[in-house]
Amino acid sequence: MDPIVIVGNGVAAVSAVEAFREHDKNTRIIIVSAEPYHAYYRMRLSHLLGEDPEVEKLLIHDPVWYEENGIQVLLGRRAVSIDVVSKSLKLDDGKVLTFSKLLLAQGSDPFVPPVSGTDLDGVFPVRTVDDVKKLYTYSLDKNSGVVVGGGVLGLEAAWALTKKGKKISVFEVAPYLLIKQLDEESSGMLKSLGEKAGMSFILSDQLVEIKGNGSVSGVSSKSGREVEADFVVFSIGVRPNTGILKDIGINVNRGVVVDEHMHTSLKDIYAAGDVAEFAGKVYGIWPVAKEQGKIAGLNMAGISASYSEIVPSNYIKVFDTEIFSAGDLCKEESAHAVITDIQPENNIYRKVFFKKNNVPVGVILLGDTKPAVKISRAIKIGRDIPEDIIRSNNFERFVQQLDYN
């Protein structure tokens, strides 16, 4: 029997082989990794900006683990084409791998907008360990930088660089920071904390030009704002890496379209993680990639398993403040009810959102994330909360209620 082949070497790939090996100990597994490293915790990279990361400390599994589990990893090799008829994959070194089943888990690429100056020295998208290493080397003797993007990774990157003594300005096209994870009031509280830490924020504005003669010297925005900078870091999202899939007849929308079994429109070809689109959504976050990889691995091993959407959640610690958000923050339609606890003097903001049937659907926790696990579980299982607790608008009573069956 031909091996199963996995394109990509992130958490979706690792989760898939872990699940596959639980039920199939013998079929050969080949992982094709474009990077020269075994799979690592990519989500930790933004915390390491301004440092020279040690890859060994980031690995999900030691290289010996792959050998013990009969998994061949081809490092530094890129898949260039797929032949659906012969069920084969061609690599950039000319090698051809035949497969019994194929998992597409090649992830995504950082988005860099088509603005003038992105070819200058000192412009960095950050997606890989090598990206972090290059930025570290370049920024050692530099004093100031611009981070484009006020989302989770952008703020983590900006905070990591600020702690290294760099003067950082953050550009965000949205009207407030963490627009997917916070509401405007909690975001305003977070922005104040960032400013106290020495950072600058340019909101509701768009970077249109990176200036410099050979290397970065500054940026300018759509509104005419100009900021001096020695380097620019882009963190404004990713795009599924679907280039290899052109002309093979697979259904691709924003990502590779998959069903609940992570199966694509082509027989024996699966997809998981950042490259996959399920129910019209491409999340591009670690927990989803991990779960999708697991479901793909089980089905590739002949175990019928279905993926159901997990409650999207994010944890972030920036400006020495912990933030957690999960679920639906009711931005597209008004919440049926909310329970709030806002303490500006203590930098605490806690808010739970309810829709019909008194079921919590979303939560924001800033400054105190201790109830995160309890509230996330209540959202996941659709926990019904007594009307009198919701009407009381007492956050502590709400959390205590979650301790009762």
Query: What's the average pLDDT block by block, 10 residues per block, for the chain (405 residues)?
Result: 93 97 96 96 90 94 96 96 95 97 95 93 94 94 96 94 96 96 96 96 95 96 95 92 91 96 97 95 90 98 92 90 94 86 95 90 96 93 91 94 79
- pLDDT of amino acid 284: 84
Nearest Cα neighbor of 11 from 83, 107, 100 is 107
Distance CA 99, CA 309 (A): 29
Nearest Cα neighbor of 314 from 369, 275, 276 is 369
- pLDDT of amino acid 334: 81
- pLDDT of amino acid 355: 84
- pLDDT of amino acid 369: 96
CATH number for region 123-234: 3.50.50.60
Residue for token pair 């009307």: 387
- pLDDT of amino acid 356: 79
Q: Give domain limits for the chain.
A: 4-45+53-109+239-300, 123-234, 320-401
| Token pair recorded at residue 138 | 């370049």
Backbone angles phi, psi at 25, to 5 degrees: -90, -10
Q: Do domains 4-45+53-109+239-300 and 123-234 have the same CATH topology?
A: yes
- pLDDT of amino acid 386: 92
Axis-axis angle for helices 184-196, 152-163 (nearest 10) = 10
**Is 231 within 8 Å of 124 (Cβ atoms)?**
yes
- pLDDT of amino acid 149: 94
Distance CA 181, CA 54 (A): 30
| Token pair recorded at residue 272 | 């998981």
- pLDDT of amino acid 1: 72
| Token pair recorded at residue 270 | 């699966």
**Is 270 within 8 Å of 257 (Cβ atoms)?**
no
User: Which CATH class, in words, describes the domain spanning 4-45+53-109+239-300?
Assistant: alpha beta
pLDDT tens-digit readout, 239-269: 999 999 988 999 999 999 999 999 999 999 9
Distance CA 194, CA 152 (A): 14
Task: Choose which CATH entry (3.90.550.10, 3.40.50.1820, 3.30.390.30, 3.30.420.40) describes domain 320-401.
Answer: 3.30.390.30
- pLDDT of amino acid 405: 57
* DSSP symbol at 163: H
In the sheet with 4-7, reading across from the earlier edge strand, the strands are 71-75, 29-33, 4-7, 101-104, 269-271
Axis-axis angle for helices 286-300, 11-23 (nearest 10) = 30
